[in-house]
Amino acid sequence: MTAQTVILEVNRVATDMKEALKSRIDILAEKGIVPCLATILVGGDPSSATYVKMKGNACKRLGIKSIRIELPEHISTEELIAEIQKLNVDPSVHGILLQHPVPQHIDERAAFEAIRIEKDVDGVTTLGFAQNAFGFASFPSCTPAAILAIMDYYQIEMEGKHAVVIGRSPILGKPVSMMLLHRNATVTMCHSKTVNLEEMVRLADIVVAAVGKPNFIQGDWIKPGAAVLDAGYNAGNIGDVDYEACKDRASAITPVPAGVGPVTIATLLKHTVDAAEKLA
């Protein structure tokens, strides 16, 4: 490892974010308001169940109410939307999170779009995405917002830097690219049809990996001194970046596990408190 390499200890970022929420939750409590996040889990996918449980537990630890709605695998798109609409009109619910992915027969996009914008704390609606692209989203997608929060915490400069984002999904690659653009980075978005991906990554001052393939980003692709943010989380707790190979060249790097994930959860909690304050 080079002397300059900073391992981005994201648990510190998440802890600070949660600490900052405590006084805001206390002020809401004085007004008789308890921030409330409703999570919806469709089917029995064990990873999704674990993620929902982690989010619920994080809520409880901080004094945020968490409602967990578990729906059977065979539910229809219409039935799922009806459940979302109940939460949309429930004044005690401030945020709604539909755990991705839902079973294949469900129109996930239609279900996401059914979430009222004021309660879209996970930033999954197209309206939320559009607002994010214009730079004034109430609730940007949580993982992209977490990536920027980590960079801000460690004062990683974005303005004028060349950021290369690998992945263009609606929840990660696209919104994080827009957010970096708003911070005056020059952004290159790469995807599965990109030609000469390695050469693109070699030009990056900031690398954001959002591919969903274990150890995909190789050490010799990293320009010495680049900052490497690994959003990937694959089976076996493996990131999208070959951490051991990349950390020798990077100026800063997120490890996996204990990478972007804890800050994503802290961001979700922050958005839920933001939503409760707005309603108050």
Residue 194 binds ligand NAP (CB under 6 A): yes
What's the CA gap between 70 and 150, in Å, rounded? 32
User: Which residue among 112, 129, 233, 243 contacts ligand NAP (CB under 6 A)?
Assistant: 233
Residue 13 binds ligand NAP (CB under 6 A): no
Residue 3 binds ligand NAP (CB under 6 A): no
Residue 210 binds ligand NAP (CB under 6 A): yes
Find the binding residues for ligand NAP in span 146-175 (CB under 6 A).
166-169, 171-173
Residue 36 is inside which H or E element, if any?
strand 36-42
Residue 255 binds ligand NAP (CB under 6 A): no
Span from 55-63, 72-80, 111-119, 258-266 in contact with ligand NAP (CB under 6 A): 258-266
Of 114, 102, 116, residue with least CA distance to 73:
102
Q: How far is the CB of 278 from ligand NAP (least distance, A)?
A: 24
Residue 261 binds ligand NAP (CB under 6 A): yes
Give me the amino acid identity at 141.
S
**Secondary structure (3-state) at 38:** strand
Distance (Å) of CA 60 to CA 64, 67, 90, 147: 6, 10, 20, 24
Residue 234 binds ligand NAP (CB under 6 A): yes
Span from 69-77, 91-99, 206-214, 221-229 in contact with ligand NAP (CB under 6 A): 206-214
Provide DSSP, 206-268: EEEE----TT-B-GGGSPTT-EEEE---BTTTB-SB-HHHHTTT-SEE--SSSSSHHHHHHHH
Distance (Å) of CA 238 to CA 49, 50, 198: 19, 17, 20
Query: Which residues are paired to 43 by β-bridges?
Result: none
Residue 177 binds ligand NAP (CB under 6 A): no
Bind-site residues for NADP(+) = 167-169
- Residues within the interface to ligand NAP (CB under 6 A): 143, 166-169, 171-173, 190-194, 197, 210-213, 231-234, 240, 260-261, 264
